[in-house]
Structures are given as C-alpha cells and as structure tokens.
C-alpha cells in the first residue's frame, strides 16, 4: 500500500493559511476611486524627460550611490530635523513590516505589543500578526476622534513597543487633536515605547507633526515620522521614508533588506522631487476639489453623513453600503466599502478625491446607486 505523501501546505503557518491575501479590485474600464491615488499624470514633456533618464540607467548594476542622493533630496524636501536619520522602504508597507521585525522578540519567551487607534490602517494589525507581536486596537469615538483617555490607559497597561498614530487617519481622514496626540506620545515615553506618526496623507493635511518634533526634540526622542511618495503622486513608484532620531533610525535600518529600493524607483523619485512644484500644484487642486466634493455630498439625498477630511478621501455613511458600492460598480466607478472593517464604520464608504471630472462622474454614480 502506498503511504500518503505529507502535504507541503502543512509547512505554512496555520494563521497565514487562515488569512485572506490583499486583493486589488480589477479596474479595467472603470473609474478607480477606491485607492486614494493622485488622478494626474505627469505632463507630456516631463514624461519624455523621465523616460530618457530611466532608459539610461545601468539596470545590470545593483542600486548604489544614487540611493544616498535620494535620501539627501528627501531630507531637504521634508526638512529633516537636526540629529535625525532616514530609512527608505518599498512604500510605507515595508517600513511597517521593518518596524515590527525590529521590535519583535522571538526566542525570548516575551511578546512585544503594538497599539493603534481603530479603525485605522489594516497593515498595522497585519504586520503585528505576521511578525509575532500582540496587537491592541483602541476604538476611536463615534465621531472618529482620538479617545485620549482610552489610548493612554492601553499604553500604560500593555506597555507597547510601538504605538501608531496616523496623522491624518485612514479611512476616516481625521487629523486628530494636537493635545490628545501629545498625551499619547508622553504616555508611550513613560513606558519606553516608540511612537510612529504615520503621515501618508501629509500633502493634503493642514499641518505636519514635524513642526512639533522640531519645537520639542527632547519630548519626541522616541518618535518616528513615516511618509510615502504614494500620495505625493507616485503610487506606482513604491517609495516610503521613515525619519527619526539617528540612533533609532540606524537600528531599524539593520533589518532593511539590501537593495530594497530599485534603481528605477530611486531615479523616478529623484526626478519627481526635482519637479516638486508640479506635484504641489496637483495637491493644491485636489484640496480645492475636496471641499467642493464634501459640499456636493452633503447636499445629496440619501447620504446620511459626510465627515470632514484632511486627506484625499472622504468618508460617507449611507443606508446600505454594500448595495450602493455594487451599484456604483455597475456604473463603472470603484469606491471602497469599509463598512465591515470595524463596527464604527457601519454603512460607510470611502471615496477618493479626484479631478473635477472624476468627482462629477463619481457623484452621478453615487446618486444613481443610493
């Protein structure tokens, strides 16, 4: 009798096998308003110039000194605080993974903990699970404000290695109260934990936490600031950067895979930073269109609530999120149904802010689908 062969799938962790892979909706022939992408492409003359530069790269060589040039350019663009270093990642997603990896404690008999307000970015709990950290989500208020008392209590109780504060938050687009954020930062300092200020949507917010870091460097000696060029306008380039006190940045950089930023990504990012004024104008236009979109949504019968936004997305509540989302898909418009992500998001859709034409098309599809 033939002995059954062991199933190689049994070598995959049970929790991984129980997970669902991140799925990107098919978008051919659709208006894509589900991923907070910049709707504007480079002007034709810049497309040609970028193509010429990328075509001349030595793709047969590993990334080299140009990565250092990119870090210097990002430091100038962001205004890197004195005494701070920088870590580059393949988007913010990789940086979130690296932070969890650096703080995990395998083989010690201890479990590090991560804390974040919820609803929030799905990669925080996912990275905790995959790297062996415990995750504690602290609910926001019903209006999606930071519950500072609950967050500080969770930090004191669980003594997290990492506390994430998205500024502004995804998917709520909220820029939380400065005093509440400072309370959380101080609470994390008291237990010796790191705080990561996630500023993925910084181009659309009225302020950045980097101002607080510069004003009170000692108070922020445990604070890291994370950004991405995705919302800057380079979602396809996949480049994130983490700024923090040099000693902390150096430790996190040790777990970064070598050559994690390709020569193509690096050169495209350098090119974009040389033309930062083009992207700044695009962000300004999107901020203007965001205001018009919010007003139009609030005037639309069937939309129960529209939250203020400090990002390039708007959260709305409708009677039936699943039915409305599917109806919009039938009208060739993709939006994000976030209603099942967290109880506070019941009946909510997340809409990307696009160009005037994109927003008009999306509003028409929404109105027809309510």
pLDDT band for 300, please (50, 70, 90 cuts).
very high
* Residue 162 near residue 143, CB atoms below 8 Å: no
Furthest-apart CA atoms within the chain: distance in Å: 76
- The residue with tokens 């970028």 is 50
Helices 44-55 and 263-274 sit at what angle, rounded to 10 degrees? Answer: 140
Domain boundaries, the chain: 8-44+277-369, 59-262
Phi, psi of 291, deg, nearest 5? -60, -40
Rounded percentage of the chain residues whose pLDDT exceeds 70: 100
The token pair at 137 is 């989500």
The token pair at 163 is 């506390």
* pLDDT of 107: 85
The CATH number of the domain covering residues in 59-262: 3.40.640.10
For every residue of 120-165, DSSP letters joined together read --THHHHHHHHHT-EEEEEEPPTTS---HHHHHHHHHHH--SEEEE
* pLDDT of 214: 97
* pLDDT of 121: 96
pLDDT tens for 136-189 read 999 999 999 999 999 999 999 999 999 999 999 999 999 999 999 999 999 999
C-alpha distance across the termini of the chain, in Å:
62
The CATH number of the domain covering residues in 8-44+277-369: 3.90.1150.10
* Residue 53 near residue 267, CB atoms below 8 Å: yes
Q: Is the pLDDT of residue 25 over 90?
A: no
Looking at residues 311-319, what average pLDDT do you find? 98
Looking at residues 37-55, what average pLDDT do you find? 96
pLDDT band for 268, please (50, 70, 90 cuts).
very high
pLDDT tens for 175-223 read 999 999 999 999 999 999 999 999 999 999 999 999 999 999 999 999 9
Q: How far apart are CA 297 and CA 16, in angstroms?
A: 39
Helices 65-78 and 263-274 sit at what angle, rounded to 10 degrees? Answer: 30
Looking at residues 14-41, what average pLDDT do you find? 91
pLDDT tens for 82-135 read 999 999 999 999 999 999 999 999 888 899 999 999 999 999 999 999 999 999
Q: Is the pLDDT of residue 23 over 90?
A: no
* pLDDT of 93: 96
Q: Is the pLDDT of residue 77 over 90?
A: yes
Output the pTM of the full model.
Answer: 0.95
Q: Is the pLDDT of residue 345 over 90?
A: yes
Alpha helices in the chain (DSSP H): 14-17, 44-55, 65-78, 91-103, 123-131, 148-158, 178-190, 210-215, 246-253, 263-274, 276-298, 321-330, 356-369
Looking at residues 31-53, what average pLDDT do you find? 96
Count other Cβ atoms within 10 Å, centred on residue 190: 11
Closest CA to 231 of 207, 204, 208: 204
The token pair at 279 is 């992207």
pLDDT, averaged across the chain: 96
Rounded percentage of the chain residues whose pLDDT exceeds 90: 94
pLDDT band for 26, please (50, 70, 90 cuts).
confident
* pLDDT of 4: 86
pLDDT band for 22, please (50, 70, 90 cuts).
confident
Looking at residues 66-71, what average pLDDT do you find? 97
pLDDT band for 3, please (50, 70, 90 cuts).
confident
CA distances (Å), origin 234, targets 86, 196, 281, 355? 19, 22, 14, 16
């Amino acid at each position: 009798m033939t002995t059954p062969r062991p199933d190689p799938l049994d070598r995959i962790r049970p929790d991984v096998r129980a997970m669902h892979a991140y799925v990107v909706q098919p978008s051919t022939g659709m208006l894509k308003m589900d991923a907070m992408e910049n709707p504007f492409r480079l002007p034709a003359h810049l497309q040609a110039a970028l193509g010429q530069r990328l075509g001349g790269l030595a793709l047969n060589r590993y990334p080299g000194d140009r990565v250092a040039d990119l870090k210097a350019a990002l430091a100038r663009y962001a205004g890197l605080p004195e005494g701070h270093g920088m870590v580059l990642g393949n988007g913010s997603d990789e940086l979130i993974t690296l932070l969890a990896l650096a703080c995990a404690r395998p083989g010690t008999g201890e479990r590090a903990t991560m804390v974040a307000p919820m609803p929030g970015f799905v990669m925080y709990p996912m990275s905790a699970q995959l790297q062996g950290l415990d995750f504690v989500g602290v609910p926001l208020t019903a209006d999606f404000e930071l519950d500072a008392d609950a967050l500080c209590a969770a930090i004191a109780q669980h003594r997290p290695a990492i506390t994430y504060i998205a500024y502004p938050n995804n998917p709520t687009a909220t820029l939380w109260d400065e005093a509440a954020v400072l309370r959380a930062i101080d609470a994390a300092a008291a237990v010796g934990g790191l705080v990561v200020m996630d500023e993925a949507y910084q181009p659309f917010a009225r302020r950045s936490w980097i101002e607080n870091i510069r004003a009170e460097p000692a108070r922020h000696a445990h604070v890291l600031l994370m950004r991405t060029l995705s919302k800057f306008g380079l979602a396809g380039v996949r480049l994130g950067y983490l700024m923090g006190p040099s000693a902390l940045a150096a430790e996190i950089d040790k777990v970064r895979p070598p050559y994690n930023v390709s020569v193509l990504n690096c050169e495209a990012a350098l090119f974009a930073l040389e033309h930062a004024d083009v992207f700044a104008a695009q962000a300004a236009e999107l901020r203007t269109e965001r205001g018009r979109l919010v007003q139009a949504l609030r005037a639309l019968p069937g939309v129960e609530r529209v939250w203020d936004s400090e990002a390039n997305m708007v959260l709305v509540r409708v009677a039936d999120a699943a039915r409305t989302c599917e109806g919009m898909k039938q009208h060739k418009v993709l939006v994000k149904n976030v209603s099942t992500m967290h109880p506070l998001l019941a009946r909510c859709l997340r809409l990307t802010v696009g160009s005037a034409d994109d927003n008009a098309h999306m509003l028409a599809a929404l109105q027809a689908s309510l």
